[in-house]
């Protein structure tokens, strides 16, 4: 195979731009190590500065050329930024546990640190784990499992890859929010049903191989045992209070993930073909955001329409497609908006109505649909 040329400077700069994502862990460390208002530095940045900045910034819909995609898709620097998150996340988690165990801390400082750690787990644990979980190399998927375990959500790779991507934009998918469903109803439904689905998927896989549910090869079983051992280990080293703080931080990370799922697929459903099966997933079946800062912070998760169209495409080569449903602002702002259901419905429902009216492959996804 002919070696690809070295990246020209403009493309190398594109890789370096993703170093913006390191601002989050740096602010996470500041929040964990500081006192007073600095304990809230990362939440203020993530859900204060970034949403305001994206309200003022125009989306960037530009795509790479095919030649640029090939070069960038093979460049290791983009991958190294992901791998770097493994020691960063686990290092910050260890520091959080130690810091939380220190006596005599004001409760408002502790709350700020728990929230900060939760954002680290959601953005750099689960989100980066999601990206690595789609890779073809087994050791990269193992890194994904290591990251997901930090948030006590190791089963995500099972349900997401083998369940969500197959059933997205249908009533069978736990992670596709129904039209008119408030986020506070979506959270418990998607968490519980996603967990059930992961168990079912593994049980069915093992049955096809002639194995029982309790076979040691059950990835769901192994993940649960590791997570239980992790929690027990934290308890033995730091005590029950630190365990509760850790579980709270992990829950925040999980809710951040599920909030992202909510805004990515809200109300969008696939029509059925003549055989009663959902049509092939298209770009119109997921919400997209091209706001630059969120794209860099989240490793292009915001170009979600193209991710579902071709899940194997690496984050740095994801495309903006003209017929993709576009969010009015970036992910952090939309996540905040979703917490106010009446306002969320007021903003999103007219957009969904217009999309359904103009696209034959799209319907509103609703209970009983």
* Interval 32-55: pLDDT, tens: 999 999 999 999 999 999 999 999
Query: What is the mean predicted confidence (pLDDT) over 255-281?
Result: 94
For 368: left if phi > 0, alpha if psi spans -120 to 50, otherwise beta; the answer is left
pLDDT per residue as tens digits for the range 113-170? 999 999 999 999 999 999 999 999 999 999 999 999 999 999 999 999 999 999 999 9
pLDDT per residue as tens digits for the range 301-322? 999 999 999 898 999 999 999 8
Q: What does the pLDDT read at residue 322?
A: 86
Q: Taking 70 as the threshold, does the pLDDT of residue 12 lie above it?
A: no
Q: Give the rounded distance of the alpha carbon of 62 from its chain centre.
A: 23
- Span between the terminal Cα atoms of the chain, in Å: 50
Residues 6+ apart with CB under 8 A from 283: 305, 306, 308, 309, 321, 323, 324
Higher pLDDT, 5 or 154: 154
d(CA 367, CA 369): 5
For residue 335, what pLDDT band results from cuts at 50, 70 and 90?
very high
Q: What does the pLDDT read at residue 74?
A: 86
Query: What is the mean predicted confidence (pLDDT) over 57-71?
Result: 88
Residue whose structure tokens are 């997401």? 160
Strand ranges, E, within the chain: 268-270, 362-364
d(CA 30, CA 8): 35
Q: What does the pLDDT read at residue 367?
A: 54
pLDDT per residue as tens digits for the range 83-111? 999 999 999 999 999 999 999 999 999 99
Domains in the chain: boundaries:
9-364
Burial of 263 from C-beta contacts in 10 A (0-12 / 13-18 / 19+)? buried
Question: Please, what's the b/e burial string for 121-148 (b: 16 or more CB within 10 A of its CB; e: otherwise)?
Answer: bbbbbbbbbbbbbbbeeeebbebbbbbb
Nearest to 126 by CA among 186, 173, 175: 175
Residues 6+ apart with CB under 8 A from 115: 40, 42, 43, 249, 252
User: How much of the chain exceeds pLDDT 90, in percent?
Assistant: 83
Residue whose structure tokens are 């040691």? 216
Strands 362-364 and 268-270: antiparallel
Of 63-77, 205-219, 259-273, which gets the smallest average pLDDT? 63-77
User: How much of the chain exceeds pLDDT 70, in percent?
Assistant: 96
Q: What does the pLDDT read at residue 368?
A: 41
For residue 1, what pLDDT band results from cuts at 50, 70 and 90?
very low
Nearest to 273 by CA among 265, 286, 282: 282
d(CA 319, CA 132): 18
For residue 3, what pLDDT band results from cuts at 50, 70 and 90?
very low
For residue 16, what pLDDT band results from cuts at 50, 70 and 90?
confident
Q: Taking 90 as the threshold, does the pLDDT of residue 67 lie above it?
A: no
Average pLDDT over the chain, rounded to an integer: 93
Of 127-131, 154-158, 291-295, 350-354, which gets the smallest average pLDDT? 291-295
Is the distance from CB of 119 to CB of 93 less than 8 angstroms? no
Q: Taking 80 as the threshold, does the pLDDT of residue 173 lie above it?
A: yes
Higher pLDDT, 368 or 157: 157
pLDDT per residue as tens digits for the range 218-267? 999 999 999 999 999 999 999 999 999 999 999 999 999 999 999 999 99
Nearest to 54 by CA among 331, 341, 368: 331
């Amino acid at each position: 195979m002919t070696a690809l040329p070295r990246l020209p400077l403009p493309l190398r700069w594109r890789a370096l731009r993703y170093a913006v994502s390191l601002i989050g862990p740096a602010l996470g460390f500041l929040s964990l190590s500081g006192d007073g208002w600095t304990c809230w530095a990362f939440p203020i940045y993530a859900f204060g500065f970034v949403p305001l900045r994206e309200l003022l910034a125009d989306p960037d819909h530009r795509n790479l050329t095919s030649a640029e995609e090939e070069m960038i898709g093979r460049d290791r620097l983009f991958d190294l930024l992901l791998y770097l998150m493994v020691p960063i996340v686990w290092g910050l988690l260890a520091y959080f546990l130690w810091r939380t165990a220190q006596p005599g801390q004001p409760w408002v400082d502790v709350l700020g640190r728990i929230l900060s750690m939760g954002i680290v787990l959601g953005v750099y644990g689960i989100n980066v784990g999601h990206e690595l979980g789609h890779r073809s190399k087994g050791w990269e998927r193992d890194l994904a499992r290591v990251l997901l375990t930090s948030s006590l959500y190791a089963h995500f790779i099972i349900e997401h890859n083998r369940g969500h991507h197959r059933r997205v934009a249908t009533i069978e998918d736990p992670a596709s929010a129904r039209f008119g469903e408030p986020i506070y109803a979506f959270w418990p439904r998607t968490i519980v049903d996603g967990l059930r689905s992961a168990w079912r998927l593994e049980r069915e896989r093992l049955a096809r191989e002639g194995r029982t549910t309790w076979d040691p090869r059950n990835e769901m079983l192994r993940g649960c045992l590791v997570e239980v051992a992790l929690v027990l280990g934290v308890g033995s080293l730091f005590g029950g209070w630190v365990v509760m703080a850790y579980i709270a931080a992990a829950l925040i990370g999980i809710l951040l993930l599920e909030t992202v799922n909510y805004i990515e697929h809200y109300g969008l459903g696939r029509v059925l073909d003549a055989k009663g099966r959902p049509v092939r997933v298209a770009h119109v079946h997921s919400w997209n955001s091209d706001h630059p800062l969120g794209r860099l912070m989240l490793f292009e998760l915001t170009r979600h329409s193209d991710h579902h169209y071709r899940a194997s495409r690496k984050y740095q080569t994801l495309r903006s497609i003209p017929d993709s449903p576009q969010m009015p602002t970036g992910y952090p702002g939309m996540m905040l908006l979703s917490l106010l259901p009446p306002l969320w419905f007021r903003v999103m429902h007219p957009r969904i109505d217009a999309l359904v009216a103009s696209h034959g492959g799209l319907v509103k996804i609703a209970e009983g649909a």
